[in-house]
Amino acid sequence: MVGTSELLVGLNAEQRQAVETVDGPVLIMAGPGSGKTRVLTHRIAYLLQERGVAPWQILAVTFTNKAAKEMRDRLERLVGPVARDLTVGTFHNFCVRVLRQHGYHLGLDRSFTIYDTDDQMNVIKRALKDLDLDPKQHSPRAILSRISAAKSVRATPDDFRAQVETYGDEIVARVYPVYQQMLKTYQGLDFDDLLNRTVDLFQYIPEVLRRYQERYRYIMVDEYQDTNHVQYSLIHQLADGPNANLCVVGDEDQSIYRFRART
């Protein structure tokens, strides 16, 4: 475990400011190789050791399992075993945990299956077959991509159909609801559903949202520039509580940290 006095050693002025500014909304702009992960991990360690924040009151999310593992490993070296009580992972990891515990409010089975890309492709092909559509003429991969794009902005099958303009749109509009019904029948959720259903849960079951808002006093998001609409909605819900302090790290391809807080 690194002592509190050592946490700030080796940080430049902007990095140190980012670590020590922990209250309110904070935006950190960082370029490649400028130590984003280091600042985030030292910021979490600072909260634990200097501010006395309990580890279960901190949520840190990023986009890949590799990045999340790197963050967890660094935190264990900084703060020791207490790091295991932190919530550190990807958006999808976090949503799986929430839905396994509370998804029954939405009619989800606790043992729902998570469908990866290969599983999704198989379902799309079955949907095409049920609709008597030739997968050689209508690319399953392209259709899946269009459905995923729709889900990223929380567009339902009905929403998508209302905006059909081309023949290709019409095909996707026919496949989308069949695909979703098949997932429901198989007790399956794809990666986009994990996010959307969690947002739905927080929207329709406010007592569940309050539980997480009250738990996570400090929320950190890495690679914030990559968030899509549904991920933004999720973070906005969590950070809209009375005690949340949100810190996001974005990359504008700069070589030196620039810090600023937004109100």
Residues carrying CATH 1.10.10.160, the chain? 114-186
Give the whole-angstrom CA distance, residue 114 versus residue 99.
Answer: 11
Contact 248, 220 (CB under 8 A): yes
Distances (CA, A) of 43 to 137, 219, 254: 52, 11, 20
For the domain spanning 114-186, the CATH number is 1.10.10.160
pLDDT above 80 (res 20): yes
Contact 261, 27 (CB under 8 A): yes
pLDDT above 70 (res 259): no
pLDDT in tens, 51-98: 999 999 999 999 899 999 999 999 999 999 999 999 999 999 999 999
To the nearest whole percent, how much of the chain has pLDDT over 70? 92
For residue 27, give the 3-state DSSP assignment: strand
Contact 94, 86 (CB under 8 A): no
Q: Which pair of tokens denotes residue 6?
A: 């050592």
What is the pTM assigned to this prediction?
0.90
Contact 153, 209 (CB under 8 A): no
Strands 258-261 and 26-29: antiparallel
Rounded average pLDDT over 149-176: 97
Give the whole-angstrom CA distance, residue 33 versus residue 17.
Answer: 18
Strands 87-90 and 58-62: parallel
Domain spanning 4-102+194-261: CATH 3.30.465.10: no
pLDDT above 80 (res 109): yes
Give the whole-angstrom CA distance, residue 236 versus residue 229.
Answer: 10
